[in-house]
Structure 1
Amino acid sequence: MASRIEHMDLGHSSFHFAFRDEWNDDHFLKFHAHQGLELLFIHEGQGLVEVEGASYELEGGVLFCFQPYQLHRVEIPSRKDAKYVRSNLTFDPRYLEPYLAPYPKLQSFLHLLAKGALPTPKFAFAESRMCGLMEGHAGAIREAGEDQEEAHILFVIALLRLLQLSVITHAELPPEGWSVKKTGHIEAIMDWIEEHFRQPFSLEQLAGELHLSSYYVSHLFKQYTGVSITDYVTARRIREACVLLGSSDKSVGQIAREVGRLSAPYFCKLFKKHKNMTPLDYRSALHHSAK
């Protein structure tokens, strides 16, 4: 099966949902990355999932969360009378952002899934509650006619809320009871990073432009996200590099300069540390058949 980035533009094409897709007997293999956030619900099946060098058992009743541009491999060996049944939701997180503005905690939860430092991509979920929600949406889409955008948005919001309450444990979420002021500071920090990550990073510059102390910015960010601000900047640069490796023919040196004015050797070292493969191996995995 070909490995490739699946680009998803804003609009209807930024949303894909399949409920209880089923494979029988045949060997199933997917090895890819894509622009969207993917939530993969396993109803039945046995196999293996590999995410950036780590392996996880695939089994019924588990959810896998694959972040944008996170290379992952899903393999179900061929077995007589065996079934692989899954539901898959893939969407561009930007598609949902405008609708979550009134709900800062849910918005923070989406940021955690799409950009945060999740300790694992694998979680257990309650089959009956989750399937009821997904089945209801699948039925609504069949009857909704051509204009499905509203149904998609309401479904994803409800699904995120259910995941927030009962699937992703509270220990993995930002602390409860955060003030609007602190949450606003976090959002301002992330917005600043989004605008400046292609330049050499300066904590002092970030703090100065936001009229905060460097210590406060560093401490607040680590407390909220669980990772240091420099690690977050590095992860953002690696994510951007993955986009360029999959969607352009730019050299590794060009990409290194574009994502942070880095030297090619240093960039390759960082990339391999985060992805467990070199930039060229990653590009090859996206554009050639999985082996």
Structure 2
Amino acid sequence: MKHSEYYQPFQGDILAGIGNSPISPTRDFHIHDHYEIFLFLGGRVNGFVEQYSYPLQRGDVLIFNNHEIHKIINLTQEPYERLTIHFRAPQIYPFCTPATNLLACFQNRQTGEHNLAHMEETLLSEYLELSMHLIETVEKPKYGSEVLALTYLIQLLVLVNELYTRTRSAVVTSVISPHIQAAMSYIDGHLQLNLTLEQIAGELGLDKYYLSHMFKQQTGGTLYRYVLLKKSPWPSSFCPPAPLSLTPAI
């Protein structure tokens, strides 16, 4: 496994951009050294994170911290539209207060839980307006750009945290079957072992070919690569904060 294909670092502190293509820049399971806000705008895709996969509709927001394996699964050959924001958490710490943790929706939950929320059109319009200001600032840097970008990001984080606070109790149905969730749970609990397809299938009482086929069908990836990613020793999550810099995103 090529480490760079699954662990996605980036240069700078903030990335932001709109994509409209049939293939994500990162096609397989991956993990970041930063946080991500993924806004779905159009197409037919599922959003996968840890043991769950959700059919997305316009206005759906997925958030990922630096510990969560995720991927976008395009269910067709057609392009899908999304707006993504990636950022490093340390730059936000100075702006958090005892009453306002701007990173709460990323940090104050179990891994793979409460990653999805939905914006109605009014809130979506507000989010898009702020995001377009951020994207323009990132793509056309000039005097004060790093400060402006940070102010737009802070406003977006306030908006996203309010959204997740309101919708935290909402029940969202995953399309991952109980068998595949059980396989993922077994992997999580036995990373110290030399895991094989035969062993995992045997523990679950399933045929190994059936398990492999179902995993590929539901996640778009292989069980082998998922295990490798889970067992890989990732670099330290964060480095000490450095002066802010901006990078356009695809």
Asked if residue 72 in structure 1 is aligned to residue 44 in structure 2, the reply is no
Cα root mean square deviation, aligned: 3.5
Partner of 1:96: 92
- Is 1:36–1:93's contact at 8 Å kept on the other side of the alignment? yes
Partner Cα separation in structure 1 for residue 46 and residue 76 of structure 2: 12
Selected match of 2:37 from 36, 39, 61: 39
Specify whether residues 7 and 160 from structure 1 end up closer, same or farther in structure 2 by C-alpha distance, changes over 3 A only: same
Work out which of the residue numbers 121, 131, 137 in structure 1 matches 2:128: 131
Q: Distance in 1 between matches of 2:164 and 2:16?
A: 21
Structure 1 residues 164, 120: closer, same or farther in 2, change over 3 A? closer
Cα distance, 1:149 vs structure 2? 2.0
How far does residue 280 in structure 1 lie from its aligned partner after superposition?
4.3
Determine which structure has greater relative contact order: mean sequence separation of CA pairs < 8 Å that are 6+ residues apart, divided by chain length. Answer: 2
Larger Rg: 1
1:7 and 2:9 are equivalent in the alignment: yes
- For the 8 Å contact 1:33–1:69, the answer to whether it is kept is yes
State the identity as a percent: 16
Query: Which residue, 79, 83, 86 being the options, matches 1:83?
Result: 79
> Could you tell me how far 1:104 is from its partner in structure 2?
2.6
Q: Deviations over 1:150-196 (max 9, x none)?
A: 1221011100111233x2133649xxxxxxxxxxxxxxxxxxxxxxx
* CA offsets 1:24-48 (integer angstroms, 9 cap, x no match): xx44434210111111001111111
Distance 1:131 1:34, change over 3 A: same
Query: Which residue of 1 is the match for residue 116 of structure 2?
Result: 122
Following TM superposition, where does structure 1 have runs of at least 4 consecutive aligned residues deviating by more than 4 angstroms? 276-281
Deviation at 1:142, TM superposition (A): 4.3
How much does 1:90 deviate? 1.1
- Cα 1:150–1:140, aligned 2, differ >3 Å: closer, same or farther? same
CA shift for structure 1 position 13 = 1.0
* Corresponding residue for residue 15 of structure 2: 16
User: If each structure's helix is expressed as a fraction of its own residues, which one has the higher value?
Assistant: 1
- The separation in 2 between residues aligned to 1:141 and 1:37, in whole angstroms, is 17
- 2:42 is matched by which residue type in structure 1? E
1:120 is displaced (CA, Å) by 2.2
Contact kept in structure 2, 1:27 and 1:77, CA below 8 Å: no
Match of 2:46 in 1: 48
Q: 3-state SS of the aligned residue for 1:136? A: helix
TM-score between the two structures when normalised by the length of structure 1 = 0.52
CA distance 1:161–1:282, change in 2 (3 Å):
same
Shift of the alpha carbon at 1:281?
5.1
Q: Give the alignment of 1:139-150 within 5 angstroms.
A: 139-145=136-142, 148-150=145-147
Aligned-residue offset at 1:267: 6.4
SS of structure 1 residue aligned to 2:164: coil
Give distance in 1, aligned partners of 2:7 and 2:69.
9
Inter-CA distance 143–14: structure 2 relative to 1 (3 Å threshold)? closer
* CA distance in structure 1 between the partners assigned to 2:104 and 2:43 by the alignment: 30
Normalised by the length of structure 2, the TM-score is 0.60
Shift of 1:87: 0.8
Deviation at 1:3, TM superposition (A): 3.0
1:132-281 mapped onto 2 (5 Å cutoff): 132-145=129-142, 148-165=145-162, 167-170=163-166, 172=168, 268=192, 280=228
Q: 1:279 to 1:96 in 2, by over 3 A?
A: same
Q: Secondary structure of the equivalent of 1:21? A: strand
Count matched residues. Answer: 179
Per the TM alignment, residue 111 of structure 1 is displaced from its structure 2 partner at its CA by 3.3
Residues in 1 aligned to 2:69 and 2:88: alpha-carbon distance in whole angstroms? 16
CA–CA distance in 2 between the matches of 1:57 and 1:36?
A: 24
Aligned partner of 1:17: which letter?
A
Alpha-carbon distance between aligned partners in 1 of 2:7 and 2:45, rounded to the nearest angstrom? 23
Q: Work out the CA distance in 2 between the residues paired with 1:53 and 1:171.
A: 20
